[in-house]
Amino acid sequence: MTARGRLALLYTGLVLAAGLVLIALTFLLVRRDRPRVVVAFGTGRPVIDPDALSASLDDMHAQTMADFLTQSAIALGIVVVVAAALGWLVAGRVIQSSVAERDRLLDSQRMFVANAAHELRTPLTTMRAAIDVTLDGRPTTSELLAMAGDISDAVDHSQRTLDGLLILARSQTGLVKQREVDLAALVTSALAGVRDLELRTDLRPAVIRGEPVLLERMVNNLVDNAVRYNVAGGHIAVRTGQAFLRIVNSGQVVDPAEVDSLFEPFVRGSRRVRGTGLGLSIVRAVVTAHGGTLSYAACPSGGLDITVQLAPGGNTGKPAGAPSASS
C-alpha cells in the first residue's frame, strides 16, 4: 500500500472509531433514561391494563433504539465515506509537499557534493598540470621552484577547503564545548592583521556563552570577507555590544537580489579573489548553532552590512538595543 493510501486509511479509521464511540455512548445514555415505573392515572379507570401498557412501552422503546442504531449506522457510513475522500485528498497534499521538500533537499545535497568535488578537484588539476608541464623535458631549477610554488598554493587551497567543510559540518552537529566568549576580543584579534584599510571600531563587551572555536571562525570569516571584497582605500566598520556584532565594509556594489546567495556554500562575489566560497555559509551555520539571528543587506554605496545577534548566555532571542540590517 502506498504512503498516501496508508494516511487516508489512518484518517478514515480515526473517524470511524470516533463515530462508533459516539454512537455507543449515545445509545447507553438513551437506554439508561428509559422510564422504569408506569404510573396509573389519579382518577378514573386506566385505559388499558398497566402490564400491557408496560409491555407496549418496552416494544416501542426497543423499536426506537433499533431505529436509532440503524439511522446512526447510515449516518456514520456517509461520514466515513466523506472522511475517506477528504483523507485521500489531504494525504495527497501532505505527501506532495513532503516529496517536494525531500526533492529540494536532495537537489541541494547533490549540488553541495558536486561543488565540493569541483573545489577539491581544481587544485589537483592545477598540481597535475604544473607537474606535467615542468617535467616535459629537462626542467631548470627555477622551473622546479615555480612548480613547487604552484603545488604549495594548490595544497593550501585544498587544505582551506577541507577545513571549511569540517567547520561547516561541526557547526551543524550542535555545540559540544561551551564557555563564555567575548566577541569584542575576537574582533580585536581578527582585525590585528588588517592592512591598507581604514578601521572604524566601537568595541564594547559582548560576552556570550558558546563554542570558542566556532565563534572565532565566525568572526574571522566576517573580517576576511570584508577584507577580500573591499576596495583600495576602503574601510571596515565594526561594532560590538550586548551580544551582537555588526560589520560594515565598503566595496563594489552588490545586487540586493544576490545577497542571499552569498551565504550559500561555494558561492563567491563577482570579483575573482582567492577563497573557498565557504566563509559566509559557515557564519550562518555558526549563528544558527548558537540560536542567534543573522541579518544582512547590501550597502547602497557598495559592500555589505552584516549583523550577528546572540542572546547573553547563548539563549535564543534578539538582544535589546542591538542594531539590525534588513535581510
Q: Does the pLDDT of residue 49 top 90, yes or no?
A: no
The number of angstroms, rounded, from the C-alpha of 234 to the middle of its chain's C-alpha atoms is 35
Residue-level pLDDT at 50: 63
Average pLDDT estimate for 125-145: 83
Say whether both 141 and 219 belong to one domain: no
Q: How many CA atoms lie within 13 A of 301 on its CB side?
A: 7
Domains in the chain, number? 2
Domain membership flag for residue 291: yes
216 and 291 fall within a common domain: yes
Give the Cα separation of 307 and 322 in Å (integer): 9
Question: Average pLDDT, stretch 302-321?
Answer: 69
**For residues 140-167, average pLDDT:** 83
CATH of the domain at 232: 3.30.565.10
Q: Are residues 101 and 67 in the same domain?
A: yes
User: Which residues constitute the domain of residue 127?
Assistant: 1-171
| Same-domain status, 160 and 77 | yes
Answer yes or no: is 66 within a domain: yes
Mean pLDDT of 57-62: 74
Question: Which residue matches cell numbers 569540517?
Answer: 166
Q: Is residue 324 part of a domain?
A: no
| Measured distance CA(118)–CA(280) in Å, rounded | 19
CB 112 within 8 A of CB 265: yes
pLDDT tens track for 257-288: 889 888 887 776 655 455 567 788 889 888 98
What is the C-alpha separation between 169 and 214, in angstroms, rounded? 11
Chain-wide mean pLDDT for the chain? 81
Has residue 55 been placed in a domain?
yes
pLDDT in tens, 173-230: 767 788 899 999 999 999 998 988 999 999 999 999 988 888 998 999 999 999 989 9
Are the C-beta atoms of residues 197 and 236 closer than 8 Å to each other? yes
Q: Is position 108 within any domain? A: yes
Phi/psi region, residue 314 (left: phi>0; alpha: psi -120 to 50; beta: rest), is left
What pLDDT does residue 317 have?
40
The answer on 139 and 41 residing in a single domain is yes
19 and 163 co-located in one domain: yes
pLDDT in tens, 70-83: 888 898 889 889 98
- DSSP calls for 39-55: PPPSSS--SS-HHHHHH
Residue tagged 547590501 (cell numbers) = 298
Could you tell me if residue 52 is inside a domain?
yes
Of 146, 171, 196, the last residue of a domain is: 171
Distance between CA atoms of residues 19 and 75, nearest Å: 9
Could you tell me if residue 124 is inside a domain? yes
Half-sphere exposure of 73 (CA within 13 A, CB side): 6
CATH of the domain at 102: 1.10.287.130
Residue 42's pLDDT is: 55
